Structure 1
């Protein structure tokens, strides 16, 4: 599974199971919807740029930083060829072609338009919207995860404020990142015990799918535009929620996820849900804090360093906040942190999922209805509000993160930035109504205020 240099300018390795987990739905949606791939990551920064150059040269500075990130982290430009990941050291013409294809300057004033239309991209792509001073990063989820995206911005803004004038492509292939199993020393051939544990985890998940979930027209109509509704709580409310969580002995992540579960239960499709229905999802957990340097830092942002495991809540329709938050808290605290057997089974669990979704019977069975949920924590732990050097200054005024959706799976991402808790609900307007999404967000806030702050 390691990278191999097969010629002077070419490196290859097999596609990993973690990449394939995202590649399969990307491929299916791309084939069905004219290259519009589901799960494409969207991340936007609103910035003040004081780069010590004339306004007309800001674009060049941004482009150079994009090139510098590729040089420092060549995984940014790897491509897929059948069952392989490939990186080729570019000559001058190939580098310019990559820049022309992946660095886009737009006169639009709506920086969310590429994501709203789910515009097809083959590689990670950077957008600059000078009229609104916003920069956007879009990438296939099979290339990078949510925390990696935050770390990418730290890498990029560092390169923007501290440019390297002496970039010489040629030896950067040695910096291609290994997959997570290699770093953790997990063997490629899993033990029978880890395979059995993974199978049990998947069986627990499969028994309760499709879960609860909101009313949706998925599989009844074709997708149209992907939308993102955002709930931004004030500094005062965010502070009160943080204090309430500390007082009550659980994390903000557990509290927000619990509020989401209760909201899904309250607005579940009444034709598909009973009081005995279970909530089910797979939580993706960032593994970088458990990895050695440099893999735990922004120096290795362009990577998939995560594991997943099912979270199941019995009878959420009739359960209280306190009952559910204890289950969610235990899951986040112990599923990997106090359970090395689950860590070893993390890879086989992805193997089991891939086998399941490629089984023809899976297509005919009910699919999960509950939105995917991912908490990204306090962004300032990884992304500064300001980046400075002797002659350059960048202020990051706002951050937004979501994923494009073309196959019916909604996604809820939440994080804190500038002392404000933000919840972003990504959905496809063909499947769910924007007015319903707004009601869901308002109910999430209501639950947090009543159960955590009060």
Structure 2
């Protein structure tokens, strides 16, 4: 699945298993002319330039990213991806299509009216010094998007001349090649992949969020968040260390308790079944472990989890065991061998209807991103440019919200993206605050 230069300046490679899976997931939004799970990265920034100078500098920085990360300009052709070294007119056409100056819409209005695009786009709001990066998920993951924004602002603060022609050397391989995941697997590995997927399919339905409304007209993807101050964040991290658990497990356990409270009168509330998202970068070739060098890539995997939900402590125990499974070399090797067929089976399942009578899943998909300071510096060019606010999110067109947790600049953020077709904003605010409340109560931490 390596890139091949079939003709001078024209590169191609097939999509790998995780890219095909996410392509299938994105196509669930075709009815609304949107991509489900579109990745969004937002930043508000300050600097000493005028709006016009900033616009020109951002345009150059975006063009620089095309050279450093050429996959932002690669095009999808069926189940393969192509990149062409651009002539000046083609480069200018790409800039017009993908660098968009928003002089009318506010960030909230822009978020509420996403435009489907076959290519990643960068939106600049000059009145408020904000940018929004958007891309189909098959092309990039959340950590990659964070790293790409970091590279954008580094290029903004410290511009350098660029000349296109040899940028093909910067094209990134997919996860399967970068991690040397075998594609031709034994029947034993294929059977193991089927068994792994069945851990999800045979344990449905799961407890989840009760649908608040069904508005077939709206289909607006929205976001709510809760940010813990530095003192509370420090206390949460310290409490988790004392208990020997990681923060993602604790937050995930609190979310399940909040779901249990909403489903206390339902027998189906006993079992929790969902997916856990793992950063696969620790398992890839050392040449790909630096997100700054290979930002535009999907280096993750999703594994099923299912257990009988209990109290916070028992939930945490189950989740800690789940999230630490790849720390075991034996488990890692076993998963590695079956990951390609497993991911292909997940993609096939994505295109199949649920069994008759099976309710659509509504449990939030939890994505623990860890400490984003590893990927996002925040200050650039001797503090000439500074990011003052940052968040990640995604467009959600199904009943399953995306639930992110990360820490940046000492503050923990819990963020949930959802669709207004199914949930009210008031309900989602109360739910995310209940998750925070359970987390702090169980860890004996004061918010202020």
Fold match by TM threshold 0.5: yes
Q: Indicate if the aligned counterparts of 2:233 and 2:412 stay in contact, CA closer than 8 A.
A: yes
Residue 164 of structure 2 corresponds to residue 173 of structure 1:
no
Partner of 1:431: 422
Matches within 5 A, 1:38-437: 38-50=36-48, 54-108=50-104, 110-165=106-161, 167-216=162-211, 221-268=216-263, 270=265, 273-274=266-267, 277-297=270-290, 298-314=292-308, 316=309, 319-335=310-326, 337-338=328-329, 339=331, 340-359=333-352, 365-389=358-382, 393-437=384-428
Provide the C-alpha distance between the structure 2 equivalents of 1:403 and 1:66, rounded to a whole number of angstroms: 21
Query: What's the secondary structure of 2:202's corresponding residue?
Result: helix
Provide the C-alpha distance between the structure 1 equivalents of 2:205 and 2:268, rounded to a whole number of angstroms: 14
Partner of 2:26: 26
Q: Indicate if the aligned counterparts of 2:150 and 2:378 stay in contact, CA closer than 8 A.
A: no
Q: Give per-residue Cα distances to partners, 1:374-422, cap 9 Å, x unaligned.
A: 0111111211121125xx7211111111111122221111111121111
5+ long unaligned stretches in structure 2: none
CA, structure 1 residues 212+398, in 2 after alignment: closer, same or farther (shift >3 Å)?
same
The Cα of 1:278 is off from its aligned counterpart by 1.3
Two-structure CA RMSD over aligned residues (Å): 2.0
The Cα of 1:105 is off from its aligned counterpart by 0.9
Provide the C-alpha distance between the structure 1 equivalents of 2:401 and 2:154, rounded to a whole number of angstroms: 33
Provide the C-alpha distance between the structure 1 equivalents of 2:356 and 2:168, rounded to a whole number of angstroms: 39
Q: Indicate if the aligned counterparts of 1:218 and 1:407 stay in contact, CA closer than 8 A.
A: no
The Cα of 1:41 is off from its aligned counterpart by 1.1
The Cα of 1:42 is off from its aligned counterpart by 1.3
CA, structure 1 residues 93+365, in 2 after alignment: closer, same or farther (shift >3 Å)?
farther
Paired residues in the alignment total: 442
Query: What's the secondary structure of 2:376's corresponding residue?
Result: coil
Q: Indicate if the aligned counterparts of 2:41 and 2:149 stay in contact, CA closer than 8 A.
A: no
Provide the C-alpha distance between the structure 2 equivalents of 1:239 and 1:452, rounded to a whole number of angstroms: 12
Q: Give per-residue Cα distances to partners, 1:115-136, cap 9 Å, x unaligned.
A: 3223212211101111111111
Residue 9 of structure 2 corresponds to residue 9 of structure 1:
yes
Q: Give per-residue Cα distances to partners, 1:335-360, cap 9 Å, x unaligned.
A: 46541201222222111112223345
The Cα of 1:252 is off from its aligned counterpart by 1.0
Q: Which moved more, 1:206-215 or 1:21-30?
A: 21-30
The Cα of 1:293 is off from its aligned counterpart by 3.5
Query: What's the secondary structure of 1:182's corresponding residue?
Result: helix
**TM-score, normalised on structure 2?**
0.93
Provide the C-alpha distance between the structure 2 equivalents of 1:85 and 1:439, rounded to a whole number of angstroms: 42
Provide the C-alpha distance between the structure 2 equivalents of 1:437 and 1:363, rounded to a whole number of angstroms: 29
CA, structure 1 residues 246+360, in 2 after alignment: closer, same or farther (shift >3 Å)?
closer
Provide the C-alpha distance between the structure 1 equivalents of 2:61 and 2:95, rounded to a whole number of angstroms: 11
**TM-score, normalised on structure 1?**
0.92
Query: What's the secondary structure of 2:107's corresponding residue?
Result: coil
The Cα of 1:108 is off from its aligned counterpart by 4.0
CA, structure 1 residues 224+9, in 2 after alignment: closer, same or farther (shift >3 Å)?
same
Query: What's the secondary structure of 1:415's corresponding residue?
Result: strand
Q: Indicate if the aligned counterparts of 2:20 and 2:344 stay in contact, CA closer than 8 A.
A: no
Matches within 5 A, 1:435-450: 435-450=426-441
Query: What's the secondary structure of 2:344's corresponding residue?
Result: helix
